[in-house]
Amino acid sequence: MIATRLFARATCVFALIGAGVAAQAAAPTAADLAKAIESGDFAAYQTSADAWLAERSAGAADQAALLERIADPGFRLVLDQRALIAACGADKLGAFAKADASNRAVLGWLLAETAALDLLLEGAVPLQPAARDRNELRLSVGTLEILARIVAADADAKAGLPLRLALATSLAPPGTGAPGAGHSGPVDPVARYNHFKAAHAAGELVPSFPNLSVWELQKVVQSGASNEDLTWGREMVRSFRPDLLTDEMVVNSTSFVWRRNAPPRFYPFKSMKDVLAGGGKCGPRSSWSVFICQACGVPAIGVGQPAHACVAYKSANPLLEPQPGSAWKVGFGRGWHVSKLENMSGPEFLEAVAERARAKEFSQIEHLRWLAAALPDPTRAAAVRDVVTAIRGSLGKTATDLTASLKPEEAEADPGVKAVAGGSVAAKPEAADVAKPAGPIVAKAGVIEVPAAALAETGGQISWGGQFPNVLVHADPLGGRQIHFQAHMQSQWADYAVDVPAEGDYEVMMTASCINDDQVLEVVAAGAEPVKVAIPLTYGLWGEAPPVVIHLAKGVQTIRVQTPVNDPKRGISLRRFVLKPKA
């Protein structure tokens, strides 16, 4: 059966191989490949491929000729096949083929698809330049076992983004990155593949996600968090601070993680919710940074620095600060010059990812390396490697500031500590981004429903530079707008003009979100004493606060919602509140 499929799909390719070639080394055929798959004997096929590749490349004496050769469809397919066999080991690949019919089926598909082989092999190439120079491309048959399971579960996994996602999940199953705080234990790779495929289809991931390479996708899907935590993380950002989705800067949510020893209620961490609500120092904060980026589809890696841990992430816009010009940024610590990640120094990492980002040249270089490994003549192999050196030498380098970092001031202390201790610091005022209502908000059936962004005025007193003396107004991904009471402000308030239909006691019911315990808003009517509204810990999702009662006079008046004065809170988002006559 496999032979029939391979003949049907590969006849045209192998016809290209044989056309106009002197018949000295036998061209590998679809029948030969099918026989190797059915029998599990790949050694003979690899030997045949080596001889044929050596003969077909014998006339390619310079860079242009070699590049033309590896671009030839027939030559490239056999070169990829040979590279896969060598990376896995002929004996181990044979054992994989013999183990199960589904394994033979996935090999029958994969070994006939140059595009899929290119993506898999290039995605598996080591990041470290020295390992690449030694051609240390290795593939575990465990990767193929996962791929076989994903392809069997989802026919979409053979093309496009689903293929890249399937390959990334196979190469870097969940948990293969640093587990970090809140590690949940083993996650099934097929479930992880389905998780991100569904999240992308639902529009929950950042816009750059479908453009990621297989290697970059590995730095998303390998998260050690549970799929449930990943889902919650995305929803938390969309509910609590949707502005962080602008420029895909979800990494800035690291500022939410209170730099302290987490209370016993939250520690030991059982999930990433505990990390966010409980807080932690550099280790948990680094884990959070990596987690929230990956949850939203942003590649991220934990970074080690002297006596510190922080994060590296791929920016959607390389020109953004810090390190403009580099797609990968380091944040919440010092710069690249003192960083360690992926078994490399920070500058080595930047050089490696920059070369990898040159997709065309990267592919040429690796295919030439695989060709050199297949050639029995050391002199010819060395000549091919010289071409590799020439191509690498022609690639320009991007200059960037290796000492810069995103929010380095937050590496050692929570900004709230400075806010409370340091008092007010001047900041540039910014007007609330909202159109004021044309008139007071009126009741419907006696109930006044007030959208949080329908404010008449807003103001407040800042604690430190970078804050704004008012509440922030953000677009709600579900439609409309919401407001955010900033963390660590000395005071902030929003006023609403309402038309009360009748004097009496009214219940105030708020739809709000927060990420820490003991968060409070106050509601003030007609100069009366503030009434405290306890905002329950919702872990950043929308929830209903327990109702409180205020007395309202009839007619148009101002209702103020505020944070307690001189009692800085840690950030509260408000979607709406309702004034309902008390029964």
394 vs 305: CA distance, rounded Å: 32
pLDDT, residue 415, reads: 58
> Strands 441-442 and 491-500, how do they pair?
parallel
pLDDT of residue 399: 81
Amino acid at 577: F
In this structure, the number of other CB atoms found within 10 A of the CB of residue 504 comes to 13
What pLDDT shows up at residue 413?
64
Instruction: Report pTM.
Output: 0.91
CATH 2.60.120.260 residue spans of the chain: 416-581
3-class DSSP state of 442: strand
Phi/psi for 101 (5° steps) reads: -65, -35
Distance CA 256, CA 81 (A): 49
Which CATH number is 416-581 given? 2.60.120.260
Residue 278 CA from chain centroid, whole number: 23
Return the pLDDT at 416. Answer: 56
Give 471: exposed, middle or buried? Use CB within 10 Å, 0-12, 13-18, 19+. buried
Buried b (16+ CB within 10 A) or exposed e, 17-31: beeeeeeebebbbbe
Q: Rounded to an integer, what distance in angstroms lies between the CA atom of residue 352 and that of residue 409?
A: 28
The answer to whether residues 568 and 419 touch, using CB atoms and an 8 Å cutoff, is yes
| Beta strands per DSSP E along 243-305 | 300-305
3-state secondary structure of 425: coil
The helix/strand/coil state of 560 is strand
SS3 494: strand
pLDDT, mean of each 10-residue run, the chain (583 residues): 40 36 72 96 96 93 95 97 98 96 96 98 96 93 97 97 98 89 86 98 97 98 96 98 95 95 94 96 96 98 97 94 93 97 96 95 97 96 96 86 94 60 40 69 96 96 85 89 94 97 97 97 92 98 98 96 92 97 91
Q: Give dist(CA 453, CA 483) in Å, integer.
A: 6
What does the alpha-carbon distance between residue 574 and residue 458 come to, in Å, rounded to a whole number?
Answer: 14
pLDDT number for residue 418: 53
What is the pLDDT at residue 179? 76
C-alpha–C-alpha distance, residues 89 and 100, integer Å: 18
